[in-house]
Amino acid sequence: GTRIICDRKFLLECKNSPVARTPPCCLPQTPGVTSLAQSSLVKLEELKERNESKEAMPDQDQFEMDI
């Protein structure tokens, strides 16, 4: 058989091509697989809010020590 051999540089360049960023035109819409489900979108927004609130909090020690 014939093998197609691609080097690492070529594969990394393909990742950034415009064709790789767009989904196929005939792809069926399956929530949670080909498109984000509504519940997933809500969860993503909640996670973003939590991360933003954690960043706003000042740094605290992980453990408090009683001396």
| The pLDDT value given to residue 7 | 92
CB atoms within 10 A of CB 35: 14
CA distance 44 to 52: 12
Looking at the chain, how many residues does it have?
67
| The pLDDT value given to residue 9 | 92
Q: What is the pTM of this model?
A: 0.32
The per-residue pLDDT string of the chain (67 residues; one tens digit each, 9 = 90 and over) reads 789 899 999 999 988 888 888 877 887 877 777 776 666 667 777 778 877 766 655 556 666 777 7
Give the per-residue SS3 of 2-63. Answer: CCCCCCHHHHHHHHCCHHHHCCCCCCCCCECCCECCHHHHHHHHHHHHHHHHHHHCCCCCCC
